[in-house]
Amino acid sequence: MKSGFVTIIGRPNVGKSTLLNLILGQKVAITTDKAQTTRKRIKGIYTEKRGQIVFVDTPGVHRPLNKLGEFLMDEAKFAIPDTDLILFLADGSEPAGKGDKWIAENLLKTAKAPIIIVMNKVDKLKNQQKTEENLMTYKLLFDKNLPVVRISAKTGRNKDTLLDNIYRKLPEGELLYPEDIVTEENMRDISEEIVREKILINTSDEIPHSVAITIDKYEENEDIDRIYATIYCEQKSQKGILIGKGGALLKKIGTEARLELEQITEKKVFLSLEVKVEKDWRKKDRILKNFGYISEK
C-alpha cells in the first residue's frame, strides 16, 4: 500500500481546484473563473485499494500586492518542503509565461520532492503540433527531464493516467486518514468558502478580491442548521454594491449559498448574511489574523 502528500501548484486559474474536485468525485474546493478563488491550503483525501493520496490544493502563485497576497504566496510556498510529490499544473492551451517561469525558478528548482508536469485544458486545442510546442516551453523551465501527463480537469480526460503516475511516485505507507474522510474542512470552513464563491460568481471588478467572510455562529440541529455570517469589504461603496438595490444581490448570494449548503448537509439551512466595512483589511496583519489568513508552516 502507498500513501503520501501531493501538492498541486501553479498560476491562478489553471484549474487546481477543479482537478482536486474531479479526482475526489465531489466538491471540496470552490471554483470560479476569477483569480484568488483559492485563498488557503485545502486538503482533499483520495483513498482506494492502492493506498491514499492526500492532495494539498494551494492558491494560485502570483506577485503579492498586499499582505493578503503575501499570505497566498506563503500558503503555496509552505506546502512544498514536506510533500512527497508535486504536481506542477499548467494551462496546456498556451505556452509557459512569466508566472510559470517564476514558479519553476523560485519555488520548484530547489524542491526535493519529485515533480510531474500536468498539462491541463488540452481539450481546448485541436492542433496536436501546437500542444507539443506548448509542452516544450514548460519542459524547458526545468534542468531535468520531467514526466508529463496531459489532462482535462473539466472533462476528466486522462484522470486515471494521472492517478497511475502519482501512485508510482508515492512511498510505501499505511493510511494517513480514515478511509471515509475526504477533507479536513469542517462545516464552518465550508460555509465560509461557499458564501465567498457566490460573491465571486455574482460580482465583478474589485469586489471579489475585497471581501472576507467570517462565520460568527454555527448552530447545528437535527432538522436545521442555523448559520450567521458577516461579509467584510473595504469601502462603503462596495457594501452598497454587495447589498444591491433593495437588498436584491445580497438575497441572491444568500439563496444560492443556502441551497448548496442544504445539498451538503442534507437538511434545511437558515443562513443570515450581514455586510460590514473594514477599511483596507488586506493590508493589516491584525485583521488578516482575525479573518484566518495566517500561514502555518
CA distance 103 to 112: 15
C-alpha cell at 277: 466595512
**Residues contacting residue 108 through CB under 8 Å, at least 6 positions apart:** 9, 80, 86, 88, 115, 142
**Domains of the chain: residue spans and CATH:** 2-169 (3.40.50.300), 187-290 (3.30.300.20)
**What distance in Å separates the CA atoms of residue 43 and residue 272, rounded to the nearest whole number?**
28
CB 43 within 8 A of CB 56: yes
Q: Are 71 and 294 in contact (CB under 8 A)?
A: yes
H, E, C per residue of 81-126: CCCCEEEEEEECCCCCCHHHHHHHHHHHCCCCCCEEEEEECHHHCC
Are the beta carbons of 261 and 9 closer than 8 angstroms? no
Q: What is the pLDDT along the chain (297 residues), one digit of tens a residue?
A: 999 999 999 988 888 989 999 999 988 877 777 666 766 778 899 999 999 999 998 877 766 667 777 777 777 777 788 899 999 999 988 999 998 998 999 889 888 999 999 999 988 877 778 888 998 999 999 988 899 999 999 899 999 999 999 999 999 999 999 988 898 888 898 999 999 999 999 998 888 889 999 999 999 999 999 999 999 999 999 999 999 999 999 999 999 999 999 998 999 999 999 999 999 998 888 888 888 887 665
Residue pair 280/234 in contact (Cβ under 8 Å)? The answer is: yes
Residue 257, phi then psi, degrees to nearest 5: -65, -45
Question: Is this model's pTM higher than 0.85 or not?
Answer: no
